Amino acid sequence: MSAVGSSTNSYSASGLSLTGSTVTSTPSGSTMTQSDFLQLLTTQLTAQDPTQPMDNSQMAAEMAQFAQLGTLQNIQSSLTGLSSSIGANAQSAQVLSSASLVGRQVLVPSNALTYSGGSVNGGVNVSTAGDVVVTIKDTNGNVVNTIDLGAQPAGLSSFSWNGKDSSGNAVANGTYAVSANNGGNSAALTTYVAGSVTGVGYGGSSTGTYLQVAGIGGVPLSQVAQIN
């Protein structure tokens, strides 16, 4: 805003100040609103020197610039709202499309499996080609059985446990720990367990769409390694 005369009087209006020949704005926020601008303009017109009034063309140019800024801010606000709406719709669409997975078998990361009769299928993410061994333990940490998958290439290798211990005896129903390593390396490999999808939900921006898998619990859709 331009100088409005040589008066040394001071004026203020809602965070706007006029001292000497300089008009300054000190709003509480970081953005000047239309209300702030009108108050500033009113203060400037009131305090101007009658012998040297503000030039009409200059005032019109300033008002036009502020109007253009207001239009740009409205466009930005509309685009932000549109982006949020599109994001929400995309989330809803993903949840709805994932509903078709209910009843399907999926392979998801897990270091525990639930045995309730029959066979339990799973997988191992082999980081380096080598002999892969899967170990099944009970809740007390005792080894129930080991499954030697033999030499496996890098990638996802599958395994199946028949629910029997190393002596061939059927084990009790319950939850068992599962782990794997390869080539005699003690570093654990990521294990996966197959389970039936019983539900689909949305866990917020940090989790996104998730699947409720029987015997495992909630698993983010992005972590599903395989769908059968």
Q: How many CB atoms lie within 10 A of CB 166?
A: 10
Q: Pick from 54, 163, 186, 47: which is nearest to 113 by CA? A: 163
Query: What is the rounded average pLDDT of the residues 50-55?
Result: 68
Report the distance separating Cα 224 and Cα 124, nearest Å. Answer: 13
Q: What is the dihedral of CA 22, 23, 28, 32, to 10 degrees?
A: -130
Q: Is the pLDDT of residue 14 over 60?
A: no
User: Which residues lie below 8 Å from residue 194, measured CB to CB, with a gap of 6+?
Assistant: 105, 106, 107, 120, 121, 122, 123, 228
* 216 or 74, which is more confident: 216
Residue with tokens 């040394």: 8
Per-residue pLDDT at 179:
94
Angle between helices 56-98 and 34-47 (to 10 degrees): 170
Question: Global pTM?
Answer: 0.58
With residue 157 as reference, give the H or E element that holds it.
strand 155-161
CA distance 81 to 165: 59
Average pLDDT, the chain: 78
Cα separation values, 73 from 17, 33, 67, 76, 136, Å: 25, 10, 10, 5, 61
Percent of the chain with pLDDT over 90: 41
Q: Which of 84, 151, 158 is nearest to 121 (CA)?
A: 158
The more confidently predicted of residues 34 and 65 is 65
pLDDT at position 19 over 50: no
Could you tell me the domains of the chain?
Answer: 10-94 (no CATH), 102-227 (2.60.40.4070)
